[in-house]
Amino acid sequence: MIWESCYWKDPLLELVKEIDKWEMNKNLDEPELAEIERQIMIGFYSIRKLIEAKKLSNQVINKNWICISYPNLKNVHRFNWDDFDTLYNLESPKHENRKLLFICHQIIHSYVFIIDEKDSGFSGIFFVSDRLRNKILFHISSKELKRIFDVVGNDDPSSGTRTFNPETKDYEVNNDNRSWLTEEVRSPIL
């Protein structure tokens, strides 16, 4: 269980700076691509642990994040998963809003995880879990990844309720971040 969340949130804020560097590197080599994958995986695992430990506000947990999805065309298996451009219809992108925990699960349990690198450097990730691999492929831009890590890293629940649930024999926790609400009204996070 996470007691002090700053040790989990501060590395997420550092990851935003790393993504800035990756975006500028036009020649990512294999070790750098592996490091990007590792850091993003650890980042989303950390976010899932923060959610499970009730260390994030309801506003962040319930916020919708922008993903692009592509429909599946062919069976995806362990010997062809990296041919994503022939397995999914990349000509039919669809914008979707997804909750944070859903994204965490898709990345942590990813069957397909491919770094999107264009001429300008790191620009996002393609991913999908083992369960959904034959239905859909997701993409999140580097800009949206930075937004996720920044918002989670800066989230500091300031109030909440704890109610004992006799059925589960545990407490249900609902956290609010009043400063986040105020900031959200001033400058909405897209």
Task: Note the pLDDT of residue 167.
Answer: 86
In this prediction, residue 182 carries a pLDDT of: 43
pLDDT at 59: 93
| Ranges of residues in the chain whose predicted pLDDT is under 50 | 180-190
Q: How confident is the model at residue 159, as a pLDDT?
A: 60
Q: What sign for the dihedral angle of Cα 12, 94, 120, 110?
A: positive
pLDDT for 181: 44
Mean pLDDT of the chain: 89
- DSSP labels, 61-99: HT-EEEEEEEEB-S---TTTTT-HHHHB-TTS-EEEEEE
In contact, 128 and 67? CB cutoff 8 Å: no
Tokens 């300008």, residue? Answer: 120
pLDDT of residue 170: 79
The pLDDT, as a whole number, for residue 179 is 53
Please state the φ and ψ torsions of residue 90, each to the nearest 5 degrees: -75, -5
